[in-house]
Amino acid sequence: MTSIITIYTDGSCLSNGSDFAPGGWSAVLEGNGKQLRLSGHECPTTNNRMELTAILEGLKAIRADHATVTIYTDSAYARNGCQDWRHNWKRNGWRKSDKKPVENADLWQELDLLLNKHSVDLRWVKGHCGHPQNELADRLAVAAAHGQTTRQYRNQGDYEFNLGGCAGNREAAA
């Protein structure tokens, strides 16, 4: 049976472009009537790096061998890169058409593996327009940029969490 999972992601970077810019990412996974909220912090970083990390960490949380995944992001960079650009970048040795290295190649290479593992549909959603799960992901990412990270499970019956093949506690799954 294929797991069906929806992931809402966001990235945030305070003072994007500065040498010591702190950032945060979040992924809100939903499926099988359950919700998993993940977020993390990195410094220094960029907004684009946090957007990619949010998608990457959301996909890493899926424990199923294969899942049907819909990812919502407000980052055109992340959406276009995952859906379109990465295929050419990979063919070109992770270089752009101008032969320069792809920024965040480490994340793109990891994303490429996970995107190929599952059936993934990435959808762009306009940020800050009242979409409840996108707004939640935004709040969690901003809080993470300030150092307040989370790993929360909602609507589970007990401590063992299985979101249609998605486990939030990596240590317990090891």
Furthest-apart CA pair in the chain: how many Å? 53
Contact at 8 Å (CB) between 57 and 27?
A: yes
**CA 38, CA 28: separation in Å to the nearest integer?**
6
The secondary structure of residue 135, as a DSSP letter, is: H
Q: Is 66 assigned a catalytic role?
A: no
Q: Is 128 assigned a catalytic role?
A: yes
Q: With the CA atoms of 13, 124, 153 and 136 taken in that order, what torsion angle do they form, in degrees rounded to the nearest 10?
A: 60
- Residue 38: name the closest of 52, 23, 28, 48 by CA: 28
Question: Which phi-psi region, left, alpha or beta, contains residue 30 (left: φ > 0; alpha: ψ -120 to 50)?
Answer: beta
Q: Is 11 assigned a catalytic role?
A: yes
Q: Give the active site residue among 19, 128, 130, 157.
A: 128
Q: Is 121 assigned a catalytic role?
A: no
Q: Give the active site residue among 30, 51, 58, 81.
A: 51
Q: Return phi, psi of residue 130, to 5°.
A: 90, 5
In 10 A of CB 158, how many CB atoms?
A: 6
Q: Give the active site residue among 30, 58, 74, 81.
A: 74
Q: Give the active site residue among 40, 58, 138, 168.
A: 138
Positions marked active-site: 10-11, 51, 74, 128, 138
